[in-house]
Amino acid sequence: MSRYKVPRGTFDILPDQSYKWQFVINAFREVARGFNYREIITPIFEKSGIFERSVGETSDIVEKEMYKFEDKKGRIFALRPEGTAPVVRSFIENGLMLKPNSSKLYYLGPMFRYDRPQKGRYRQFYQYGIENIGTMNPYADAEVIAFAYMFLSKLGLKNFVLQINNIGCKNCAKDYDNALKEYFKPNLDALCSDCRKRLEKNPKRVLDCKVKSCKEIARDAPSMLDYLDDDCRANFEKVQEYLNAMEIPYIVNPKIVRGLDYYSQTAFEFVDTNLGAQNTLIGGGRYDTLAEQLGGKNMPGIGFAGGFERLLLSMEEEKLPFGLQQKPKVYLVSLGDEARIAGIKIIMELRENGISTEFDPDKTSMNAQMKAANKTGTEFALILGENELIKNKIILKDLGNGEQKVINISDIIMSIKDK
């Protein structure tokens, strides 16, 4: 019988790590409160059609990375590979457009993609994201970006850059795709085999190919910015105006492309400058046709998503603090059977009063219990032996400075709460 291990591309978050996750999640929730985004929690699996229709049948995510399965009645589901489509599905299904204070949503949770694992990329990974649904106003674009910026800044991160672009709407994006095809056609043979495929499927992808020869050819390719129609251009300018007003630094990078089909207009990425190959901390953009694709009314939206794993890698890289690990405040040291029973009563009372207390029934000697108290990192030891018990007293020892005093058992909670 072989020992079981975590599935490939997944991992356990152990206690010495989980406090970091809690720290980052709490920070995210605080920023959400500041921007008045409220949490939405959707199922971890959906009808697979939701993703096929929105993310795109030809996207890598749908084509080869989805965990699809059939249930007992033959329905085809998928473990969600991303968070936006489910949120929009729920938004439509529950008529949130009609409910007050419900258009700005955030979510947290695991996503699943069958990809080859590497640094910063896992098969089950944890995303945080926000969606602002129902407005075309470019202020919403800027606010979503500001949210992301404030979140990263709040954690203390410095080694990142914000890149923004406008990839056009369904009208002008086509013109641009055609222009790109025209531009690359004479150089077709010089492009890598991937790029030749990309040129058919998604010509914009050729622009950020990493192959040297492709890069050189792409250097003088037409820029999306020259093909934007009036609306898109105006929108892009407004977004930048708002970002400037918010004093959020950014660079315009006409080469950033989002990989999911539903994106249009504003696209942006927060890229870490000293992570490995998987260095996109947060990616987001506008999706003005997504709701329609999912069978709802024509309804615009904008949002972003980020991965916690990369966030933690980045914070560790910058040696940023994650707050304190959980530790009990008090350790009970009891000696003898009677004192043990009395001690158990005491720790129950302490816990009821919100004082976190530890006790190890396997250790009986004073030495072993004191060592354990020290190792656990508690502030105080409460020492109760027969001598004290007879007098209704207990010893309260401060493990920081070694000072100890004898107090009445009835005064324990008061004495500890004072500190």
Partner RNA sequence: GUGGGUGUAGUUCAACGGUAGAGCACCGGAUUGUGGUUCCGGGCGUUGUGGGUUCAAAUCCCAUCAUCCACCCCA
By CB under 7 A, what part of segment 277-306 binds RNA? 277-283, 305-306
- If one asks whether residue 211 binds RNA (CB under 7 A), the answer comes out as yes
Look at the alpha carbons of 315, 318, 324, 325 in this order and tell me if their dihedral is positive or negative. positive
**Measured CA distances, 116 to 113, 192, 302, 384 (Å):** 9, 22, 29, 56
Q: For RNA, give the closer residue by CB, 226 or 386.
A: 386
Give the total of residues touching RNA (CB under 7 A).
73
Q: Could you say which residues in the range 11-40 bind RNA, by CB under 7 A?
A: none
Q: Which residues pair with 393 in a beta bridge?
A: 408
Q: How far apart are CA 42 and CA 411, in angstroms?
A: 48
- If one asks whether residue 118 binds RNA (CB under 7 A), the answer comes out as yes
- If one asks whether residue 215 binds RNA (CB under 7 A), the answer comes out as no
Return the residue of 12, 297, 402, 418 that touches RNA, per CB under 7 A.
402
CB burial string 238-275: b at 16+ within 10 A, e below: ebbebbeeeebebeebbebbbebbbbbbbbbbbbbeeb
Min separation Cβ 276 and RNA, Å: 3
H or E element, residue 29: helix 15-35
- If one asks whether residue 121 binds RNA (CB under 7 A), the answer comes out as yes
- If one asks whether residue 117 binds RNA (CB under 7 A), the answer comes out as yes
Pick from 269, 267, 261, 263: which is nearest to 288 by CA?
263
Q: How far apart are CA 35 and CA 16, in angstroms?
A: 31
Tokens standing for 233?
């251009």
Return the residue of 290, 335, 347, 416 that touches RNA, per CB under 7 A.
335
Q: Could you say which residues in the range 129-188 bind RNA, by CB under 7 A?
A: none
Q: How far apart are CA 209 and CA 191, in angstroms?
A: 10
Return the residue of 77, 122, 227, 262 that touches RNA, per CB under 7 A.
122
Return the residue of 42, 48, 59, 240 that touches RNA, per CB under 7 A.
59
Kindly write out the interface string for residues 353-392 of this chain, putting x where it contacts RNA by CB under 7 A and - elsewhere: ---------xx-xxxx-xxxxxx-----x-x-xxxx----
Min separation Cβ 268 and RNA, Å: 10
